Amino acid sequence: MLTPKEKRFLKYWDEQKIDGKLQYILVYTIGWSFILFFIPLAISLFVNMYIALKLHQLPLWVAIVLSIVVGFSIALLTWHQNEKKYKSLLRKQDETVPAGH
């Protein structure tokens, strides 16, 4: 028997998969890239560590490429982990169905 949390995950993942893996990866890569590029920059400027850490010497294109690569990696890893969890929960759900039904 699946817990309510597991049932919510199955429903959530079904909705996420509707547009396919490529669309999921694209959307989450953009999201994570934005977070990984702007948030550390804003925090470092806020605490005046931008110059102290010599981040101003890092070319902008390197920071953009790094954030995209890391964002893509996170999105891809998340897809595979969720797919694995989804399949595992489906197997668990199938096992709990009584044999006479």
Structure confidence at residue 1 (pLDDT): 82
Between 100 and 44, the more confident residue is: 44
Structure confidence at residue 43 (pLDDT): 74
What's the rounded Cα separation, in Å, for the pair 62 and 64?
Answer: 5
- Half-sphere exposure for 25 (CA within 13 Å, toward CB): 14
Instruction: Categorize the per-residue pLDDT at 86 as very low, low, confident or very high, splitting at 50, 70 and 90.
Output: very high
pTM for the model: 0.79
Note the pLDDT tens digit of each residue in 6-55. 999 999 999 999 999 999 999 999 999 999 888 877 777 776 665 666 66
Between 100 and 61, the more confident residue is: 61
- What are 94's two structure tokens? 């199938």
Mean pLDDT of the chain: 86
- Half-sphere exposure for 42 (CA within 13 Å, toward CB): 6
